[in-house]
Amino acid sequence: MINKLIAILFLSIIISACNNQSGYEYMPNMYRSPSLETYSTNTYFKDSINARLPVEGTIARNYLSTFYFDGDLEGYLQSGKFAKNPLEINEKNLKEGEALYGMFCAHCHGPEGNGGGSIGHPIYSNIPHYNDKKQIRRTGKTMSELKAGHIFHSITYGVNAMGPHSSQLSEDERWKLVMHVQKLQKLE
């Protein structure tokens, strides 16, 4: 009798366990409140986008830029001459720079900065090496001779097939990256 009971219990659990539907909401207002969320729609605006761009020229707190060069070739050459890394080169910044490099650069430039990143697309398969001493770049110099300002300019505005990364990285983060790239330039 008990055996039968257990068998029936098992059987019924197996039958009812087939239910994998989910997503019922009890009092949906608790889940979806009328307050606006970052990516929600906002009918007060014509285009209904809640994620607005800041007014042009807005400077966020603690984000006052020290880099005032344009995105063209002249700005590039100028930044190489005049832009200075405002951060102190120390172990902590270098370590953070290396971590950032792993997140933002290594998939194309490779962990050692000599190409060979994980992206297999032909367009990104032959990336200039940071320690290259042969090929003359737009500065009239080689990759290994590029100055901090050049590197910062390239990250900010992009160069050739590399897009601008200023929206993903704060200026401090970019300067930390520059530190690490300068370290890779010296690799043999």
Residue 34: burial class (beta carbons within 10 Å; 0-12, 13-18, 19+): exposed
136 vs 154: CA distance, rounded Å: 16
Q: 């207002």: which residue's tokens?
A: 29
Radius of gyration, alpha carbons of the chain: 27
82 vs 180: CA distance, rounded Å: 20
- Measured from the CB atom, the residue of 30 and 55 that comes closer to another protein is 30
Minimum separation from the CB atom of position 71 to another protein (A): 13
94 vs 116: CA distance, rounded Å: 22
Task: Based on the shown chain and the rule CB under 8 A, indicate whether residue 59 belongs to the binding site for another protein.
Answer: no
List the interface residues with another protein, window 152-181 (CB under 8 A). Answer: 158, 160-165, 167-170
Instruction: Count the residues of the shown chain that bind another protein, applying the rule CB under 8 A.
Output: 62
Task: Based on the shown chain and the rule CB under 8 A, indicate whether residue 20 belongs to the binding site for another protein.
Answer: yes
List the interface residues with another protein, window 106-145 (CB under 8 A). Answer: 106-107, 117-128, 134-138, 140
Q: Which residues bind another protein (CB under 8 A)?
A: 4-5, 8-9, 11-13, 15-17, 19-26, 30-33, 35, 38-39, 47, 49, 73, 102-104, 106-107, 117-128, 134-138, 140, 158, 160-165, 167-170
